[in-house]
Chains A and B, each alone.
Chain A
Amino acid sequence: AQTVTQSQPEMSVQEAETVTLSCTYDTSENNYYLFWYKQPPSRQMILVIRQEAYKQQNATENRFSVNFQKAAKSFSLKISDSQLGDTAMYFCAFGGGSNYKLTFGKGTLLTVNP
């Protein structure tokens, strides 16, 4: 079974600064995908970014980028130029193997301060 660990329950950052959220995972699969989801106070689950394990190039979506270290089984999310609207719970998720399920971490609550 896969496990996903987010070691930072809460983080805060000043507006316009950069913050990195950590995620590690454990798996014996070779073919898998990793996702970051954002859950703002509205409670919606919004996909932020995804990374294919077979790709060495780190995924980037505007101000959001990942640092994917496959050997270390690490998948951190970097948010540049933080905005007040980035305040949310962020979940790291693993999807792999022959099943159709995602395994989620427990989340990191990010607060962006003005």
Chain B
Amino acid sequence: NAGVTQTPKFQVLKTGQSMTLQCAQDMNHNSMYWYRQDPGMGLRLIYYSASEGTTDKGEVPNGYNVSRLNKREFSLRLESAAPSQTSVYFCASSTGVINQPQHFGDGTRLSIL
């Protein structure tokens, strides 16, 4: 029972490099989300996908792009990494009904030098 799987778990990048964080869920959920977590800031929504084929900006979308590849997968791309994007990134999924909780992956710790 995997739930939400994120890869990689850790990554170090140099400024200007690009990379894609992968997320997959096996719960047949409609909605998927990407958050970043920084000390003292809680979780802030980067992008979300309410359903397959749709994506929308969240609170802090600048510097990121997303792709909802299919119902299971939702990737987050950093085109040109900046030190300000050093953070822990979480992917989550839910049925899309507001009384249902979001289920989270284990997070990716990303450091940009």
Contacts and interface: CB of A to CB of B under 8 A. Distances in A.
Interface of A: 9, 31-33, 35, 42-45, 47, 50, 52, 91, 95-97, 99-102, 104-107
Interface of B: 31, 33, 40-45, 48, 50, 58, 88, 90, 92, 94, 96, 98-99, 101-104, 106-107
Q: When A and B form their complex, which 6 residue pairs have the shortest distance between CB atoms, in order from nearest?
A: A45-B104, A106-B42, A104-B43, A104-B42, A47-B101, A100-B31
Contacts of B101: 35, 47, 50
B94 A107 contact: no
Contacts of A96: 98
Contacts of A105: 42
Contact of B96 (A32, A43, A100, A104): A100
Contacts of B31: 100
Given A33-B99, A44-B104, A47-B101, A100 B40 contact: no
B46 to A, nearest CB: 11
B10 to A, nearest CB: 11
A100 B106 contact: no
Contacts, number: 48
A contacts with B: majority SS: loop
Given A50-B101, A95-B98, A101 B42 contact: no
Contacts of A101: 33, 45, 48, 58
Indicate the member of A32, A35, A42, A100 with the most B CB atoms within 10 Å. A100
A43 B98 contact: no
A42 B2 CA distance: 17
Contacts of A99: 50
B94 A100 contact: yes
Given A43-B106, A50-B101, A52-B99, A9 B40 contact: yes
25 contacts: A33-B98, A33-B99, A35-B101, A42-B106, A43-B88, A43-B106, A43-B107, A44-B104, A44-B106, A45-B92, A45-B104, A47-B103, A50-B99, A50-B101, A52-B99, A91-B42, A95-B99, A99-B50, A100-B48, A100-B94, A101-B45, A104-B42, A104-B43, A106-B42, A107-B42
